[in-house]
Structure 1
């Protein structure tokens, strides 16, 4: 039996879809409840602002056709994840749909309100005219409570069928109850009708829904602002550059990008070097010189002459496309606060119905006239709508994500907001994280009798295709030397064919050549483990890369590193806020100490010569929750061990895909930005949750205990929803960092001990 359980556990998978037809957060809860009851589905989570559905369970249970059939019974449509353009078009359509219905509600509702006002004010000279005004009020309310309110009735019926009645079920009950009570009063000849209550309820909820849609639209625009690729590109075909549609470009095609244009797709640079500006991606005007064979990303702007690159990822599969997709995946997951809000909203609606029935019976038995008892019950239904509860967390998370994007930080997991806001320690890798991602080779020391052009050719071949910063530095050094000495030896390595290449994460790279030779480029320790005789290492504090061929040492490259601008200030600020800091690197102790002195990290906070497994152990021992920033393959285990993993700009592809947070600007200043923004976002989430929860509980208690006019209940309910929207919008529109009081807790050392 245990074996079967283990096998079933191993077969658990995940699938991401888009759900069409969602009208409110109650619809999202209904979809989750409907799918969670299906055999083989272990969990379902809907992120309402982006209309994305994440389903977990056995693979055969996650098939689109099976899930779509289950949702179609409720009236929802299931499809593949939406592209940014499709999502924006959907929200545009929703905005127009809501605007049309809102205009109709205002156009007819104002006459309903006017007629009701004349009745309330006693402006009619005779009672017969009051009754006529009551019928006029009902006539103008008819289009509002039928056509305009139809989406509320439809969503209420769907959620009731899923046994998760929510806000729309209460709105439908409230509007229909107000109309029913009014018709009953009219039949008895009484002009004290409540058509205005139903009209106000529908109209004000439409206003809130429109504001909420605009907030969701803003978050999508922040995502799309990352990169807007052109629709036409220049492709090499038939021995000429021909215009073609971007969607028709395939992997391996060669594209030409003119000076000043942005790269439309990911690829590798061909033919000649290029100068690229990363500002469209990062907001930083930091030109980077790329050599032939270097990877280039969509969104970079060409600052030099026209360049040619070979496509490695078609449209929809570039790094930025994957980034957007990962954000949709992670946004569909729910943090602790969102799950708490869902549970609260889940029992609030049934409680409101029970309390409304209790109020009706209790007030009637207490001798209150039946029409007044119905009005008291109506107020309870209206005032309890959990719209604010459902919006409390998603809107704050979406606002925080959009604000982070504008500041060059991608928060892939909304749950990371909650964890990031509570971190007690932060650890950093050295090379490519605190230092420039492209260290410079200061000198090449030959250890064999080969000529310099031959050594350079072998080093270039050994480093070709590697994403490690030290290997790229060697490749750039080779190109710089060749450029300085002319083109006479530029093709010295042209006949060196690579048969096989393998990169050992964080240690080195081994390359098999077509002539049978085997090259190794990497650290001294790794080469020694491979049987290469190396001389005693010095203690200069500089990084080094060794080149060997067939077990013989050929050359040693010494590299220098400097801290990225702003590193010292960022680390000092984190320390002042009470976070424990650590510098964990696989480099030598002298190099680590040298950098630590430059950025203000204490000696007891430095850990040098650490393997990936050792990094993970250190991170597990640090005060929790912890944060780790690393860029290489040797940091993957550490990123997974830390509570929050952060990938800096230029990090390895695997690191970028596995980290919860990605930085789009050079340096680690984004860590402080993300941390402060996470604290603000979590604070807004808790404020929203407290505001909405306290309102609903107090309002329900007051509505049960004392008579509240239904119109006042409508205004109070809408004010609660708008307060949540406004509080989230305050976070989204904040342009400056809010000052925060430093924590009063005692600062701890890197491993939890007082320094």
Structure 2
């Protein structure tokens, strides 16, 4: 199955994207297609053995749209700046708007000036000059029609292909106004030629050139403002893409030189000076630096890095100097993957978007039918042709499905961008929507609630031995051990700068511990069973040992011969923010459950420490998925948070899988969201973001539906007989433009949502 990204041109509203999806999805071999009106592209999955890109592009072109394979994938070359479609569209609209406004100003001033007595040249005033006035208005109108000819080209093409869109409505509305104006010009010529002066006022009142021109200009104003607002929706992606430098300082064969970033290969030694950006992902091999990782992780404080530490492309070296070895370049860097994830999420569609797409598919044909029906009804009721055409044009112009089509993708794009800036990567619009419905959060213990790395927590010496002496002895015995608990002890001794003694005769006893000799004396280190087998009395610290076990800590005993020297407790410590994160989730009305493979005593200790609602202990990896399945069968919407390979099935089973960023690639691949900072507080942030985005989408859809529900009857003259309310086509065009701009502007508020 092949995936391809196509650039689509000629789309003006969600009726267009809906039409393309409907037709292309029916092509044999096409598995899935998602057309994004906001970014003007389409993600397509298809079977190469059945259909190819050329056939898909040809089918889209037959619908009246332009299509081409996307020139450059964002993920493939994050260092380069892609074509900014929204910015290009905005500049094109700006030029069209300036040209249109010049001639619209002339025709509008001339038309309204005669009505309101503004200063005008005498050769267009008076009944005897009505034909000159009409011809001059037509002369000003024609350049506007030419400048904004795209509305007519795309509108007519889509109308003839049976897929009318917003451009079709504008084409019919503005075109009908111009044609009716032409009818008036010929009528005036007939009146003057046949000396029928009684007909002149009738035809003079039927000039609609100013309506034809102003409708196009107002729609272009709306499109310009819409494009301007849309350009801000992708600010997060553009900001991420600007992080990576264009070049890198490389050291090859003892020589240093600056090369294009695209020429950097895995294994290259790169030099990063103070103030420079890290070009690619890698490991420091010499020197040190304080890195600003805020753009990647959302963490504002700089992080100190030294030899052996990993660095991420796109981060900034605020101070220091170091050499690094490139470990990931191009599309494999963390930044490139983040950009790809954000781009993929903004191009996907949330389930709620299907409602708007479905409505838009039938909307434009329904509007055209309503316009024709409204005009016909008024004619049947005895209204003039002038009145009936005014009604029909107003209905066509005010009924724009743009707002419906933009309601969801704008909020999704801004929301995912806001998440990316905070270190929360959302892989699909579906996940972003589903997260707001979550009522139960399942947390893996090791590496999620806890740090996932055992550390020494308590040192309890006996028989006159000091804490440092006990730790030194313990580390001397454990330095040959590969056990994680032994490494925790040697690490603690290293941090205390204790000098270790040489242990000889090292012997490991499976399931119990080890024995060795130091300076001719026999020592043993291990659990209670080893002490009992060695005849060591541990009663002196029995009470303390039980307290350690209750706290979820693992005690290790150390003895010289049969004399107990003390006990050192080792535990996987809870992350500093875990307790607060659990409290925040519970404060949001969520049930928080911890699952772990540890014994019930340790699980209960951690549960008490962080305050989760429930702890499920001794759960095998394959059983985590079963726990989620059971909760789902009870009607719960479940989010699973984990970091390990054994969490992947559970992450995939959950309604929303959330992977800790420091976890394995498999866990991240299986998840719907990724927390770059590996901080549980970001789980609450992700759910808050989802709730904010969904509220925003519902607001957008509500106002888009309400706008049309009120606007169409108003434009059709439903309230004219009772209240005398009639909508001028110019006001209708302005209202239509404002509806789209208001939806995009409302979505932009998400950039400032507090998480």
Residues 1:93 and 2:92 aligned together: no
* 1:597 lines up with 2:586 in the alignment: no
Q: Deviations over 1:252-303 (max 9, x none)?
A: 2222223454322123443678765533422324565667665442234446
Structure 1 residue 568 and structure 2 residue 582: aligned?
no
Q: In the alignment, which residue of structure 1 is the partner of 2:624?
A: 615
Matched with 2:660 is 648
Q: How does 1:198-209 map to 2 (within 5 A)?
A: 198-209=212-223
1:47 aligns with 2:46: no
Counterpart in the other structure of 1:126: 126
* SS of residue paired to 2:172: helix
Report the RMSD for the aligned CA atoms in angstroms. 3.7
Counterparts of 1:404-553 in structure 2, within 5 Å, are 404-436=419-451, 440=455, 456=479, 459=482, 481=494, 484=497, 539=549, 541=551
Deviation at 1:118, TM superposition (A): 1.9
Q: Is the 8 A contact 2:278 2:314 kept in 1?
A: yes
Question: Deviation string for 1:344-391 (max 9, x for gaps)?
Answer: 111110001112222233333333222332222112211222121111
Given the superposition, is the C-alpha separation of residues 141 and 559 from structure 1 closer, same or farther in structure 2, using an over 3 Å criterion? Answer: farther
Match of 1:194 in 2: 208
Q: Deviations over 1:48-83 (max 9, x none)?
A: 222332223423356333333333443413223642
Kept in 1: contact 2:13–2:401 (CA 8 A): no
Counterpart of 1:368 in 2: which secondary structure?
A: coil
Structure-1 separation of matches of 2:363 and 2:417: 30
Counterpart of 2:388 in structure 1 is: 373
Alpha-carbon distance change, 540 to 87 in structure 1, aligned in 2, over 3 angstroms: same
Change (3 A) 1:90 1:725: closer
Give the corresponding residue for 1:28. Answer: 17
Question: In structure 2, the residue corresponding to 1:44 is in which secondary structure?
Answer: strand
Per-residue deviation, 1:232: 2.0
Contact 1:14 1:62 in 2 (8 A): no
Instruction: Quote the Cα distance in structure 2 between the aligned partners of 1:240 and 1:267.
Output: 20
Equivalent-residue separation in structure 1 for 2:354 and 2:237 (angstroms)? 25
1:486-537 Cα offsets, whole Å, 9 max, x none, are 9999xxxxxxxxxxxxxxxxxxxxxxxxxxxxxxxxxx9xxxxxxxxxxx99
Deviations 1:376-410 (A, max 9, x none): 21122112221211111112222222333333322
Distance 1:17 1:398 in 2: 18
8 Å CA contact 1:115, 1:134 repeated in 2: no
TM-score normalised by L of structure 1: 0.78
Tell me how far 1:137 sits from its aligned partner. 2.8
Aligned 1:268-347 pairs, distance under 5 A: 268-270=283-285, 276-285=291-300, 295-302=310-317, 305-347=320-362
Going from structure 1 to structure 2, the CA distance change for 1:361 and 1:219 (only over 3 Å counts) comes to closer
Work out the CA distance in 2 between the residues paired with 1:310 and 1:479.
29
| Alignment-derived partner of residue 645 in structure 2 | 633
2:210 equivalent to 1:211: no
8 Å Cα contact 1:565-1:667 kept in structure 2: no
CA change 1:242–1:437 in 2 (3 A) is farther
| Distance change in 2, residues 1:484/1:288 (3 Å) | farther
Q: Is the 8 A contact 1:541 1:594 kept in 2?
A: yes
**C-alpha separation between the residues in 2 aligned to 1:731 and 1:154?**
36
Asked whether 1:710 is paired with 2:699, we answer no
Is this contact kept in 2: 1:18–1:82, CA < 8 A?
no
Matched position secondary structure for 2:446: coil
Partner of 1:351: 366
Q: Which runs of 5+ in 1 are unaligned?
A: 1-11, 463-469, 490-523, 525-535, 547-555, 738-755
Provide the C-alpha distance between the structure 1 equivalents of 2:663 and 2:229, rounded to a whole number of angstroms: 32
Q: Residues 683 and 735 of structure 1: is their aligned pair in 2 closer, same or farther, counting only changes over 3 Å?
A: closer
How many angstroms does 1:145 deviate by?
Answer: 1.6
Gaps in structure 2 of 5+ consecutive residues = 189-202, 461-472, 503-526, 528-544, 557-566, 721-725
> 2:456, 2:492 within 8 Å by CA — same for their partners in 1?
no
Distance 1:173 1:209 in 2: 18
Aligned residues of 1:441 and 1:474 also touching (Cα < 8 A) = no
Query: Do structure 1's residue 361 and structure 2's residue 376 form an aligned pair?
Result: yes
In the other structure, the counterpart of 1:674 is 686
> Deviations for 1:231-263, whole angstroms, at most 9, x for unmatched residues?
221223122333222110112222222345432
Q: How many residues align?
A: 654
Whole-Å separation in 1 of the counterparts to 2:694 and 2:378? 42
1:730 aligns with 2:724: no
Mean CA deviation greater in 154-163 or 177-186? 154-163
Deviation at 1:100, TM superposition (A): 0.7
For the 8 Å contact 1:277–1:301, the answer to whether it is kept is: yes
1:606 offset after TM fit, Å? 0.7
Q: Provide the secondary structure at the position in 2 that maps to 1:431.
A: helix
Q: Aligned pair in 2 of structure 1 residues 674, 116: CA closer, same or farther (>3 Å)?
A: farther
* Aligned equivalents of 1:246, 1:559: Cα separation in 2: 46
Q: Deviations for 1:533-573, whole angstroms, at most 9, x for unmatched residues? A: xxx99946557799xxxxxxxxx997534433443333223
Q: Distance in 1 between matches of 2:275 and 2:499?
A: 28
Match of 2:247 in 1: 232
CA distance in structure 2 between the aligned counterparts of 1:87 and 1:243, rounded to whole angstroms: 23
Once residues 235 and 320 of structure 1 are traced to their aligned partners in structure 2, the CA distance between those partners, rounded to angstroms, is 20
Aligned pair partner of 2:595 in 584, 608, 615: 584
CA distance in 2, matches of 1:710, 1:277: 55
Distance 2:741 2:344 in 1: 28
Q: Which residue does 1:512 correspond to in 2?
A: none
Matched, 1:70 2:59: yes
Aligned residue for 1:428, secondary structure, equals strand
- Kept after mapping to 1: 8 A contact 2:370/2:395: yes
- Deviates further, 351-360 or 399-408: 399-408
Deviation of 1:309 after TM superposition, in Å, equals: 2.9
CA contact (8 A) 2:481 2:487 kept: no
